Amino acid sequence: MQTRYLIAGSSHAALSALHAIRMADADGGVTLVTRDARLPYSPTVLPYVVSGRSDPGRVFLRDEEYFRAHKVDYLPGVALAALRPQDQTAVLADGRTVCYEKLLLATGATPVIPTVEGLSGVPYHVLRTLDDAVGLHQAMSGVREALVLGGGLIGMHAAENLARTGAKVTVIEAEAHVLSAYFDADASGIIEAAFSANGVDLHLASRAVSASRDERGRIRLTLGNGHSPAGDLLLVATGVAPAIGYVNGCGIQCDQGILVDERMRTSADDVWAAGDVAQARDFFGNARVLNGILPDAVEQGRIAGMQMAGDQAAKDYAGGVPLNTYSFFGKQALSVGTDGRGFADAEVHKSFDPQTGRYLKIVMREDRLLGIFSIDRWIDAGVMWELILRRTDLGPVKAQFLADPQRAARVLMSKTWR
């Protein structure tokens, strides 16, 4: 097979790149291969499939008609097996080879299974594919006790879903707090309190040492802290890693993920990477980091697609900014930017109202916004992200910003880039 553009992957980064390519090049041949046999969907929607809120038949981001209309040769259920960048050739899992002019690697991530003695001997769930989600949704009914290994977004969403069905849920998290990648100890504390109030048992700073079946057939985990909770269902949600087995030995430089420059180019000519596989520059420092969040996948995919199609308007990647949104038990948590770790001169403004449970933390440095975090207090995350990226001088409006960041940010937006 021959194609002008080969895209490997079918989630946000891949679809965003495809969109950008078609904006600049309406006709160049595009082939999209993806290991998933389903139509494109987002891993982010899966917790809602688990909870039953999303109909698994209605979560697809594109349909066959979209690919037809955009002249895309769409090949689901075919993974990338190997690469020969020097020949501009990709080998697919079914043995076919594809010769490409430009290649995008956006193959996403797969769950990391921790080393726990006996884990392979007990049944457990992971949550990364639509099949996983449908399976977990079905398995949830009738569960009275559940174990969730990992207090990240996937684990916490699942724990809430399970708790809402009436199950007794235990969450085991290795870090001192849940969701520590996005929230500081105070915010995580508020989240943890909500879970505890809803009957979820949290074991923080704890690791599972071993797993086994107990005498009643239940799964029992033995923790480093001496506890040994048991459940009818175990979800392993201890994180994900880039799904990049196909790069082994092909010469493309990798670290934790595929290393890319500010234009999402890999070390090989005519090969780009975006999304969960890409290790790209950090906005706040010089290191290259994995920033596995949906909005960044969209941004990286767009930049890669524009570069691949030779779009004159292509700009450099500004760098990854950690950010997320998280709803739990009817509350909204938002995080945009860094909490100031690594900046000795960062100033932190915090407020917490125990009555309402509202939390706000603003981190600034030299009158520029570094990060903003809130619980049950609305801030426009997209506007805040833009203020960080633009390094907008907040000096003249600092008092207003600290008092009412949403309003001040909206005024700045309207004055600056509306």
Partner 1 sequence: MGAYSTISFDAPKCDGCNDCMLACAQAKSGTDEIARSRIEVLKSNGSFELAMCRQCGDPRCVQNCPAAALEKNDATGVIDWDETKCVDCLLCTVGCTYAGIAYDRAAGHVTKCDLCDGDPACVKACKPGALRYVTTARIYNEVGQLEDLFAPGLSGCQGCNTELLMRHTLRRVGPDTVLATPPGCVPGMGSVGYNGQTGTKVPVFHPLLTNTASMLAGVRRFYKRKGRDVTAMALAGDGGTADVGFQSLSGAAERGEEILYITVDNEGYMNTGMQRSGCTPYGAWTSTTPVGERGQGKTQDAKNMPLVMMMHNCAYVATASTGFMEDLYEKLDRAIAASKRGFAYLHVYSPCTTGWRFPSQQNIEVARKAVETNFVVLWEFDPKNGVRLTRPVDHPLPLAEYVTMMGKFRHLSGEQLEHIQASVDKHAAFISRLAGERDAQMIRHLAANRTAA
* Torsion (CA) 271, 81, 71, 312 in degrees, nearest 10: -10
Count of residues near partner 1 by CB under 8 A: 45
Phi, psi of 76 (to 5 degrees): -80, 160
Name the CA radius of gyration of the chain, rounded.
22
Phi, psi of 119 (to 5 degrees): -65, -35
Query: Residue 255 or 316: which CB sits closer to partner 1?
Result: 316
Query: Residue 53 or 96: which CB sits closer to partner 1?
Result: 53
Q: Tokens 């797969």, residue?
A: 110
Q: Can you tell me which of 33, 59, 106, 162 binds partner 1, judged by CB under 8 A? A: 59
Q: DSSP states of 90-151 as a string?
A: EEETTS-EEEEEEEEE---EEEPPP--BTGGGS--B--SSHHHHHHHHHHHTT-SEEEEE--
Shortest distance (Å) from residue 275 CB to partner 1? 12
For CA atoms 105, 107, 111, 117, the dihedral sign is: negative
The angle formed by the CA atoms of residues 310, 81 and 248, to the nearest 5 degrees, is 85
Query: Residue 216 or 415: which CB sits closer to partner 1?
Result: 415
The angle formed by the CA atoms of residues 133, 138 and 141, to the nearest 5 degrees, is 125
Query: Residue 181 or 411: which CB sits closer to partner 1?
Result: 411
The interface with partner 1 within residues 396-415 (CB under 8 A) comprises 406-407, 409-411, 413-415
Euclidean distance between the first and the last CA atom of the chain, given in angstroms as a whole number: 46
Query: Residue 237 or 381: which CB sits closer to partner 1?
Result: 381
Q: Can you tell me which of 228, 282, 325, 352 binds partner 1, judged by CB under 8 A? A: 325
Interatomic CA distance for residues 46 and 344, integer angstroms: 39
- At 253, list the tokens: 């430089």
Stretch that binds partner 1, among 8-16, 104-112, 176-184, 272-280 (CB under 8 A): 8-16
Stretch that binds partner 1, among 14-22, 27-35, 123-131, 342-350 (CB under 8 A): 14-22
Three-class secondary structure of residue 84 per DSSP: strand
Shortest distance (Å) from residue 294 CB to partner 1? 6
Stretch that binds partner 1, among 11-19, 183-191, 226-234, 244-252 (CB under 8 A): 11-19
Asked if 417 touches partner 1 (CB under 8 A), the answer is yes
The interface with partner 1 within residues 255-314 (CB under 8 A) comprises 294-295, 298, 302
Stretch that binds partner 1, among 54-62, 133-141, 173-181, 265-273 (CB under 8 A): 54-62
Shortest distance (Å) from residue 386 CB to partner 1? 4
Query: Residue 2 or 416: which CB sits closer to partner 1?
Result: 416
Shortest distance (Å) from residue 20 CB to partner 1? 9
Interatomic CA distance for residues 251 and 107, integer angstroms: 18
Stretch that binds partner 1, among 89-97, 260-268, 270-278, 327-335 (CB under 8 A): 327-335
Asked if 24 touches partner 1 (CB under 8 A), the answer is no
Shortest distance (Å) from residue 137 CB to partner 1? 14
Longest Cα separation, the chain: 67
Q: Can you tell me which of 10, 16, 31, 266 binds partner 1, judged by CB under 8 A? A: 16
The interface with partner 1 within residues 359-388 (CB under 8 A) comprises 378, 380-383, 385-386
Sequence-distant (6+) residues with CB within 8 A of 288 are 255, 259, 260, 279, 280, 281, 282
* Torsion (CA) 408, 412, 414, 418 in degrees, nearest 10: -140
Binding site for partner 1 (CB under 8 A): 12, 15-16, 19, 23, 41-45, 48, 53-54, 58-61, 294-295, 298, 302, 323, 325, 327, 330, 332, 334, 336, 378, 380-383, 385-386, 406-407, 409-411, 413-415, 417-418
